[in-house]
Structure 1
Amino acid sequence: MLQGSFQSVLEAKNRDEFREEIVRFAQDLGFETVTATVVLDRGPGNAEFLSVDNAPVGFNEIAYDPSLGKLDPVMQHVKRHSVPIIWSQFTYVQNGRADLWEEQARFGYCSGICLALHLPEGRHFIMGVDRREALPSDHQQLTRVVADLQLFAVHAQEAAWNVFLPEGASLEQPLPSLTPRELECLRWTMEGKTAWEVGGILGISERTAVLHLNNAMHKMDCNNKHQAVLKALRLGLIR
């Protein structure tokens, strides 16, 4: 079911369709609310924010207050890191911001997961899913949820730039020059194989497989292997 969402969000043609797809995905994942934001840096202290969400009435009055954003530990984390943050009341208490958690908890934002993709040319994509109840206590289940969100976010950010800034999405760039080995590693990664498994399939070490994937990511200006796979597919480098 979730894999169908990956393709569906790529096919969104406008903001309403994009919003519908991310809401459907979040609810299938077990979350009530979702926010997706693109950020375009236009110079020091000058950034453009464009968002879609299904927030309850009244919540955005506090969510988009710049002064509060500077105090929010979740927002400060995604501003600086690409690793997802799994947050709860404890996150805010630990950072001395229990008051912010209590404010947003009134709207059902009690726990969630948030991540950011920091892209070239001053572009950023932030996606968060939230709910009233606690997150799964089972580590494997929670890891699977985070992985699904990460993979969906890679697809969603491609769609977001087309929906929000179509003029920027149409810029043509020369195809990156990937070696046959780098392409093979991307193909097997597309099939869900780990670097260790890719190494076994190709008769190389896990370390060498990671090196090929890192080289491919660097050549395509991608921050992770899933984003590199998606871009390679879009450019027709792998099928």
Structure 2
Amino acid sequence: MDKIFEQFVQDLSMHDSTPEIERLLRRTLDQYGFSCFAYLSFAPRGDDDDTLVMTTYPSSWVEQYCANRYDRIDPVIARSITTTLPFAWSGDRFDTELTNKQKWLLDEASEFGIRHGVTIPIHDRQGKVATLTLAACDSRSAFDARVEQYRHQLHLIAIYLHAQLRNVTPPHISPLRPCLTQRERSCLQWAARGKSALDTAEIISVSRRTVVFHTENAKRKLGVATVQQAVAKGLMYDIISM
């Protein structure tokens, strides 16, 4: 995993306020070359008070968007509710057929420099949906190439970000989460904070081999292939925290 992502994970675990997390997100995405983004967390058919927004979109567009309640017709939001897979979009490229109002909305956004982008949806166990959208007005081919280069890191950033923001206001713990032992949770917890297996072994006073054993068990129970994926899933299931 690259240094930018490793630093993001380490710094994220030390931030417990929304403004601090937003500044970290801005700095991290800017290092990857994505200065224009929007993070949105909401409960479908829920209360507007339960919505959280972080964005670098032009303030004039954000004000216009909110004043006109464009979220009710936004095709990016509508698509995010129905899928967990990242998707690319633009006024002339979308996964689903757009209504005239939705086409008009994307055309209007392009006037503010938001011409195309990619959105990473997140669905958590408490019924909330979050989206991390990276947008651009420059060359689509260059933008798509940059997204492809960092797609794994960007997906994990979205998951880690959402999990830490939930920790600011702890959610109800789902009874359907996978059952990990205390030692397995501990090993994942330290991995989430950027510690290696050797570091963790020294912290919890066991051998590195024991840490690897418990980490592998956690990966198997969570149905993933890597430690990073195990941490991400552990965060989503509220098994561990940042």
Q: If the TM-score is normalised by the length of the shorter chain, which range does it land in?
A: 0.5 to 0.7
Secondary structure of 1:103 counterpart: helix
Match of 1:35 among 19, 24, 38: 38
Match of 1:98 among 91, 94, 103: 103
Q: Equivalent residue for 2:222?
A: 216
Match of 2:129 among 104, 124, 132: 124
Structure 1, unaligned runs of 5 or more: 191-211, 219-223
Alignment size in residue pairs: 201
Task: State whether residues 36 and 135 of structure 2, in contact with CA within 8 Å, keep that contact through their aligned partners in structure 1.
Answer: yes
Q: Equivalent residue for 2:70?
A: 68
Task: State whether residues 33 and 55 of structure 1, in contact with CA within 8 Å, keep that contact through their aligned partners in structure 2.
Answer: yes
Q: Equivalent residue for 1:156?
A: 161
1:82: Cα distance to partner? Answer: 0.8
Secondary structure of 1:64 counterpart: helix
Alignment deviations for residues 163-199 of structure 1 (CA, whole Å, 9 cap, x no partner): 3x2xx259698995348xx99xx9xxx9xxxxxxxxx
Percent identity over the alignment is 17
**Counterpart residue identity of residue 216, structure 1:** L
Change in 2 beyond 3 A, CA 1:157/1:66: farther
Alignment deviations for residues 85-117 of structure 1 (CA, whole Å, 9 cap, x no partner): 112232369625432122112222112111221
1:154: Cα distance to partner? Answer: 1.3
Task: State whether residues 234 and 240 of structure 2, in contact with CA within 8 Å, keep that contact through their aligned partners in structure 1.
Answer: no
Match of 2:51 among 49, 52, 55: 49
Match of 1:235 among 228, 237, 240: 240
Change in 2 beyond 3 A, CA 1:134/1:75: farther
Change in 2 beyond 3 A, CA 1:226/1:131: farther
TM-score, structure 1 length as denominator? Answer: 0.66
Q: Is 1:11 matched with 2:17?
A: no
Change in 2 beyond 3 A, CA 1:80/1:66: farther
**Counterpart residue identity of residue 162, structure 1:** N
TM-score, structure 2 length as denominator? Answer: 0.65
